[in-house]
Amino acid sequence: MTTPPKAGIGRVTAAIVAIAAMLPYLTLKILWMTGSSIGVSDPALMGSSTMLGMNAMTFGMDAVALVLALGFTMRWGMRLPGWLVLLPLWVGIGLLANILASAPISILVEGSAIFAGGGPIAPWIYMMVYGGFIGQGIGLMVAFALYARDRWPNLSLRIQPFHHVVGWGALVVACAVGGTRVSWALSGERFVTAMQDGVQGVLGIAGAVCLVVLFRGGRPYWWLLVVAWLGSGIMFANSLYAEIVGAVGGPFGSGSASTTARLVELFALLTGLVMGLAGAFALGVRDVQAVQQPLEGEDGERDRQPAHHGHR
């Protein structure tokens, strides 16, 4: 049995990048929740109950990500229950992956004009927020990958018969939902929206395909798991967020969305959830537990205990 290494320079650096990228966004949310109208053309907007609720929710989401980024570099992070790490990261990376894939290409094609939407939010706010999301996404993904490598070096899939049924069923629905999104992307008038639809559609289908291959015992293992993780997360997280925004209304709501669009969001949300749950059971999330003994005792570094007791 080997002792897991301390957080190396790579993991620490990635976490620092993620946290630094979060701070402007968290500061902006605090200012808006405390009555500031910075970057907003309508001062009364941020005082509405809808926007207060949305700002509180998104502030909380980023605050959780900040705590996890800290945990990836600290010894107490190795003692967190597995589900408490994996669930918020699955949702958060699902949201950020769409921005990471679509925003840089959109900026290259259309330049800063993509941020000039003519709405109540100033273009520089979008530039700051999306720039932060890109840095946050890269930092979190790298830090989590290095953390997972050290904490769970011997994870393997335990496939049951129901996994095959779930995998193929999810693939059928993911192809229908993803194909619809790709068709929207090809016919979309606004490049940014088309890119986002295309990324969600392609990644959703690719994730379902990789999940089926994983359940059949396919190799190489790691990149199939990554694509399945991203595909399921991007479907669930983005559709859940769209449903929440549409339900609360306000200036960013989608109350006029068509029945087809609402059905696509609903089925994408459910399919992503089913894929995520199936993958979690195959990985044995119940076995991905917190460390049972403290990582550091009275003698400091010399008596650190392994962070992966019993993992297979």
Q: For the residues of 263-310, what is the DSSP string, one character each? A: HHHHHHHHHHHHHHHHHHHHHTGGGSPPPSS-S-BTTBGGGPPPS-TT
How many Å apart are CA 26 and CA 242, to the nearest integer? Answer: 21
Is 255 within 8 Å of 249 (Cβ atoms)? yes
What token pair was written down for 32? 């808006």
pLDDT, tens digit only, all 312 positions of the chain: 455 567 889 999 999 999 999 999 999 999 999 989 898 988 888 888 888 999 999 999 999 999 999 999 998 998 899 899 999 999 999 999 999 999 888 888 888 777 776 678 888 999 999 999 999 999 999 999 999 988 888 778 888 999 999 999 999 999 999 999 999 999 987 888 899 999 999 999 999 999 999 998 756 578 899 999 999 999 999 999 998 888 876 666 555 578 889 999 999 999 999 999 999 999 875 555 544 443 333 344 334 444 344 333
What are the residue ranges spanned by the domains of the chain? 9-153, 157-290
Residue type, 64: V
Instruction: Output the pTM of the full model.
Output: 0.85
